[in-house]
Amino acid sequence: MKRGTKRRADAQASSAAMRKDARDYLRRFPPQSAFSTVLNIAMVLVGNALVFWLLWNDGLRAAHLVALVMLETVLLLAISWLLQRAVPRKDWLEQPKPWREKLPIVLFVLFWLAGAYGITLAMINGYPDFIALLKSPRSWIETRLYIPLLYTLGLALVHAVADLRHYRRLGGPFVSEVGHDAMARYLTLILGGIPFAMPFFAAAIGGFKGIEYVAGKARVDPARSTLAGAAMLVVFSASFWLVEGLVDSGVHGWAIGFVFAKLIAEVLIVCIPLVMVQIVREGTPGQAPASVS
């Protein structure tokens, strides 16, 4: 009994801490209108459309995409780090963890990235392009890689100004939107190591959720509906056909899959406020999400 009571108490404490973090988050990113959400997703789409346009017009090759996201990650992490140091430590959302806790995670991520992209660059014959970027800025100019990089930098600076203005107006805890931009990029690097998987899961899960939504509107249980089951089989097969088409396209297909992984990661980060609203709602039944501000 005592163990069960302790587990319940621990679970309640964990849920309370999660709701507090969600409320702190929503002070910086309050529940957004449909227009704001669409605007944020539109900015993500524009950035990825630039990348896809350069790829489609043979300005970029597969190795250039990897280099772009790596540099964006470093750039955004650096800006986020500088922003956080501009406010008192007591107002940070989370206090820094000791290196003995961070080091295993850092080493694992570095091992994963080195292994995944070391193999990937070899498979797509991307080492010459990657090394050329390291040797001379001319390669960056010829590939027009600076265009999406400048777009990322411009958005980061706009977000940085908004972060500081919000902090000076309302105080801590300090939550950086630039940190979210960085999170989207290193999520891209992790997920992009298996780029063909991301389009598959996005198409399959998105299709399944769409079917569940339509079935819910029709007041039909998708688990018991023959029509819904058949639709899910079609979605599953179509997802495989999508991946098969990318694989058959070779290196170009890999690059398109990587851009899809980048797009999916960035959209997921943009949708974090929706998740936080749901966490607060679950902890305060019947309360409107706007009241957390």
Is the Cβ–Cβ distance between 228 and 152 less than 8 Å?
A: no
More confident residue, 256 or 67: 67
Average the pLDDT over 67-79 and give the result. 93
- Identify any residues that bridge with 174 across adjacent strands, giving them in sequence order: 92
**Tens digits of residue pLDDT in 120-148:** 888 888 899 889 988 888 888 888 999 99
The token pair at 189 is: 């690097």
The token pair at 113 is: 């990235």
**What number of other Cβ atoms are within 10 A of residue 282's Cβ?**
12
Q: With a cut of 50, say whether residue 110 has pLDDT above it.
A: yes
Average the pLDDT over 57-62 and give the result. 80
Cis peptide before 137 (omega within 30 of 0): no
Helix locations, the chain, DSSP H: 2-28, 34-56, 62-85, 99-123, 127-135, 138-142, 146-170, 177-192, 197-217, 226-248, 251-270, 272-283
Q: With a cut of 80, say whether residue 111 has pLDDT above it.
A: yes
Q: Which residues contact 184 (CB under 8 A, 6 or more apart)?
A: 265, 266, 268, 269
Q: In the Cβ-directed half-sphere of 126, how many Cα atoms lie within 13 Å? A: 23
